[in-house]
Amino acid sequence: MKVLFFTKEFPPYVYGGAGVHVEYLADELKQLMEVDVRSFGDQKITAENLNVTGFLGNHQHYESTEKKLQTIFNTMQTNLQMNATGVDADVVHCHTWYAQFAGIMAKLCYGKPLVITTHSLEPLRPWKREQLGRGYDASSWIEKTAIEMADAIIAVSEETKVDVQTHFNVNEHKIKVIYNGINLQQYQYTETTATLEKFNIDPSKPYVLFVGRITRQKGIIHLVNAIKHIDTNTQIVLCAGAPDTEEIAKEMQESVAAVKETRNNVFWIEEMLPKEEIIELYSHATVFCCPSIYEPFGIINIEAMACKTAVVASAVGGIKEVVIPNETGILIEVEQQNAAPFEPVDPERFAKDLADGINKVVNDEALRAQMEIAGRKRVEDFFDWKAIAKQTENLYKSII
């Protein structure tokens, strides 16, 4: 069997959970079949059972258009290039709307069965209009078309399956829940502290860690607003980059600058760190915080749990299927607006609740130790990529 992945992200160009998913799923699937990956970028990788080719769009073609629309035109051009070299795979598997137009064309032009993994859904991410302008209408159309014509849809959580059924016209039998996974050998506790020393983080004092993109979805602004309620002895480490827009980048800068006026133990790491350094930060964090307002799965939580770190996370989306309350972490309930953009009804209360959860874990050593052990065990029991790759292979076989 041969599978073709269409994806925006693939190493070394990974900035979000979908890119992490594609990297590790491809690595495991190549043990079972031939894997062809076509991504955005300049990659050229040839290994046993794995071939990766990057494709570069050209923004200069669209200089006369509105800046926000350039992303859409460049994306669609790249998707067409991905198909122009021919498709000989048995099945095509798309990841995120950025690559779904390529899947549409492969199904229509080459007659290939199409699988879509729903890492997120455009109807539940209205803030993307800030980034794409009217292009958000185009991305939504691409996603709707791809999902409704797909031969199989992978939902990364049970709640995401419900969201797919709510927002798209698809038969339930086409939707299969397959969780994200993790490389258990790579993501595990390490005693090394070079990364902490590199960024002047004091290993003898507790710290709360955030890892993620600067976007409305990840809720980082709510965590920054919670800092004033977090015990002053607790360090704040924000490993956050790749802002969606100039506006949210500016909001982040202003918010962090404001909290730094009253405390000197806030560390904002704006660069995208290599895995080895991220694993060090996970390993020595007293608590990991995931304040997302929308999260179909939340792979960062299992990364933290695999490194034996307790989690404080918002009780939204797939996070509720990953983090077990008071066992592997603390879930923070958040009353959200009934319609998009689903922000907290009371942002200040949400920030205070996040801080209360963080303080509880930091100050209760026995509870924290229990969560660290339980978190690692849960990851080992449910989120191993090898099992997930086998489930994915079986899905491919069912539609070929």
Q: pLDDT by residue (tens digit) across 283-304?
A: 999 999 999 999 999 999 999 9
Give the domain range for residue 57. 2-181+384-399
CA dist 287 and 285 (Å) reads 5
Averaged pLDDT of the chain: 95
237-249: per-residue pLDDT in tens? Answer: 999 998 888 889 9
Domain-located, residue 188:
no
Please give the average per-residue pLDDT across 248-252, as a whole number. 93
User: Which pLDDT score is estimated for 58?
Assistant: 73
User: Which pLDDT score is estimated for 59?
Assistant: 65
Domain-located, residue 77:
yes
75-79, 164-168, 213-217: lowest mean pLDDT where?
213-217
CA dist 399 and 259 (Å) reads 53
Domain-located, residue 351:
yes
Domain-located, residue 171:
yes
Tell whether the model's pLDDT for residue 159 goes beyond 90: yes
Q: Both 279 and 167 in a single domain? A: no
Q: Both 169 and 205 in a single domain? A: no
Give 65 or 386, the one with higher predicted confidence: 386
Domain-located, residue 12:
yes
* Complete edge-to-edge strand list for the sheet that includes strand 311-314: 266-269, 235-241, 207-213, 287-290, 311-314, 329-332
Q: Both 261 and 273 in a single domain? A: yes
Domain-located, residue 187:
no
Give 281 or 65, the one with higher predicted confidence: 281
Q: Both 137 and 29 in a single domain? A: yes
Q: Both 138 and 7 in a single domain? A: yes
Q: Both 161 and 19 in a single domain? A: yes
341-399: per-residue pLDDT in tens? Answer: 678 999 999 999 999 999 999 999 999 999 999 999 999 999 999 999 999 999 999 99
Confidence class for position 57, pLDDT limits 50, 70, 90? confident
Residue bearing tokens 């969201």:
163
Tell me which long-range contacts 52-56 makes (C-beta under 8 A, separation of at least 24): 52/10, 53/85, 54/10, 55/81, 55/82
What is the C-alpha end-to-end distance of the chain, expressed in Å?
10
Q: Both 161 and 284 in a single domain? A: no
Q: Both 155 and 210 in a single domain? A: no
Q: Both 8 and 93 in a single domain? A: yes
This prediction's pTM: 0.87
Domain-located, residue 200:
yes
Give 204 or 340, the one with higher predicted confidence: 204
Q: Both 331 and 208 in a single domain? A: yes
Tell whether the model's pLDDT for residue 163 goes beyond 80: yes
Q: What angle do CA 66, 72, 77 make, to 5 degrees?
A: 115
Tokens standing for 239? 């490993």
Q: Both 231 and 123 in a single domain? A: no
52 φ, ψ (degrees, to nearest 5): -120, 125
Tokens standing for 175? 């939707």
What CATH number does residue 390 fall under?
3.40.50.2000
Domain-located, residue 189:
no
The number of distinct structural domains making up the chain is 2
CA dist 320 and 324 (Å) reads 7
Confidence class for position 340, pLDDT limits 50, 70, 90? low
Q: Both 388 and 375 in a single domain? A: no
